[in-house]
Amino acid sequence: MSTSDVSDVIVVGAGIVGSAIARALAGTALSVTLLEARGDVGDGTSKANTALLHTGFDAKPGTLESTLVARGYDLLGAYAEQTGIPVERTGALLVAWTDEERDALPGLQDKALRNGYTECEIVDAAEVYRRVPDLGPGALAGLTVPGESLICTWTTNLALATDAVQRGARLLRNARVLHAEPADGHTTLRTTAGDVRGRWIVNAAGLGADALDAEFGHHRFTVTPRRGELLVFDKLTRPMVPLIVLAVPSSRGKGVLVSPTIYGNVMVGPTSENLTDRTATDTSEEGFDFLLSKGKVLMPKLFDEEVTASYAGLRAAIDSDDYLIDVDAAQRYVLVGGIRSTGLTSGMAIAEHVMGLLGGTDLDLEPRADLPDPPRMPNIGEVGVRPYEDAGRIAADPAYGRIVCFCERVTAGEIRDAFASTIPPADLDGLRRRTRVMNGRCQGFYCGAHTQALLEARGAEDADDVAAVR
């Protein structure tokens, strides 16, 4: 597309951070455009991570990251309650397996205190095994982190983007930025969807942030795509992992975690591998072998059970131990770079921070009085009542009682609702992130053809249409 309209602000990147910034800006009288290079919001770095709502206990004290993660924990927790984003307050336990790791626990507890988190407690081996009986032999001690929680990454991203659009932001998908041309009063972004013009540009482009930064004449960092691979286990394993089991950082790195998921599974990972290919989200034999060897030490009984899926995500690593957020007022340009996996938790705080930095510019950031209520998101987590369990809802609309995906108990009503939503899915992967369809142990083997038919029919419009598509 091509437009001669000039937005007050263009936000590049509709991951969690970009969507949160667009939402905040759209809460003012400013005109906001949110650009996404891919076919859906949250289809890049944001879609594949460990999905933990972090307290920030282990961040480097005094950094911008530590401040924003702690603030984001509170902001996102409250927003999740408002919008229905699934959250499960499991807590976490760092487990020490060596003398070196055990000796590091007091320092980690002190780091948590310096980050303002006071709830960590050092426990002995007996308490470790009382909390997680299925751990492998040899644990020496542990550090509790009661506030660490599970959250749905997919719903978080979709809620923030939906809120931005409902507040008036314009969302353009499949709009990869090819070139930026600053001019008097505005910048023209040449994109795969045509030219888009804005007075201010916010760079939240994740893996592409350094390339866009260079378009504005800066050469201050390079993004290194860092692949993290994870294994997902069948839901029958969930009782074995009642909370998040973290490794104690040591001279060998941060290690591998074992964690429940918001969808009722268990996951093990991630790996950490620096690459050059910014599209390399394939899993690898080496990654599988690494997770197998590490995981069997942590919880051998878990590896007697079925691995139902594996996936990989790319993090936008930079050569810095902190976030890189900067405002170039002369060019009306904002960089939001180097946001690691903690960006899931800190996204709303990053948006708040960016708004503060923009407060001294020519942008009118006065909040509007006519904001719509936050969106209410569908529950795709195992916490709370899912539609197939809700007799009243099924009685009012039988589509919520018609199962499409038996592994994940996804109904025709949910799929129909996804296509009727503010930001409908563009493909099967987007539909999966909105409903969990094809996300279970069969990975779409049984429901894939039916789901593809529903995709082609845009979810169908009523129960008769759904039945006809079958």
Of 417, 391, 421, nearest to 404 by C-alpha is 417
Q: Exposed, middle or buried by CB within 10 Å (0-12, 13-18, 19+), for 70?
A: buried
> Which residues are CB-neighbours of 373 under 8 A, at least 6 positions away?
none
For 421, the 3-state DSSP assignment is coil
For 56, the 3-state DSSP assignment is coil
CATH superfamily, domain at 91-145+223-314: D-Amino Acid Oxidase, subunit A, domain 2 (3.30.9.10)
Rounded to whole angstroms, the Cα distance separating 37 from 191 reads 9
Show the DSSP H helices in 95-202 as ranges: 99-114, 125-131, 153-166
Q: Exposed, middle or buried by CB within 10 Å (0-12, 13-18, 19+), for 78?
A: exposed
Rounded to whole angstroms, the Cα distance separating 142 from 425 reads 43
Rounded to whole angstroms, the Cα distance separating 21 from 260 reads 29
What kind of architecture, by CATH, is found in domain 1-86+150-221+318-373?
3-Layer(bba) Sandwich (3.50)
Tens digit of pLDDT per residue, the chain (470 long)? 334 489 999 999 999 999 999 999 999 999 999 999 999 999 988 887 789 999 999 999 999 999 999 999 999 999 999 999 999 999 999 999 999 999 999 999 999 999 999 999 999 999 999 999 999 999 999 999 999 999 999 999 999 999 999 999 999 999 999 999 988 889 999 999 999 999 999 999 999 999 999 999 999 899 998 899 999 999 999 999 999 999 988 655 567 899 999 999 999 999 888 898 888 888 889 998 999 998 999 999 999 999 998 888 888 888 888 999 999 999 999 999 999 889 999 999 999 999 999 998 999 999 999 999 999 999 999 988 999 999 999 999 999 999 999 999 999 999 999 999 999 999 999 999 999 999 888 888 788 888 888 888 887 644 444 444 44
For 407, the 3-state DSSP assignment is coil
How far from the centroid of its chain's Cα atoms is residue 2's Cα?
A: 31
Rounded to whole angstroms, the Cα distance separating 366 from 49 reads 34
Rounded to whole angstroms, the Cα distance separating 460 from 470 reads 11
Residue ranges per structural domain of the chain: 1-86+150-221+318-373, 91-145+223-314, 385-465
Rounded to whole angstroms, the Cα distance separating 309 from 322 reads 32
Rounded to whole angstroms, the Cα distance separating 204 from 197 reads 17
Of 200, 192, 213, 170, nearest to 26 by C-alpha is 170
- Record the pTM: 0.94
Write the DSSP assignment of 256-307 as a string of letters.
Answer: -EEEE-TTS-EEEE---EE-S-TT-----HHHHHHHHHHHHHH-GGGGGS-E
Q: What are phi and psi of 198, to 5 degrees?
A: -150, 150
* Cβ proximity of 254 and 248 under 8 Å: no
Q: Is the peptide bond before 270 cis (omega within 30 degrees of 0)?
A: yes
Strand partners, 307: 233
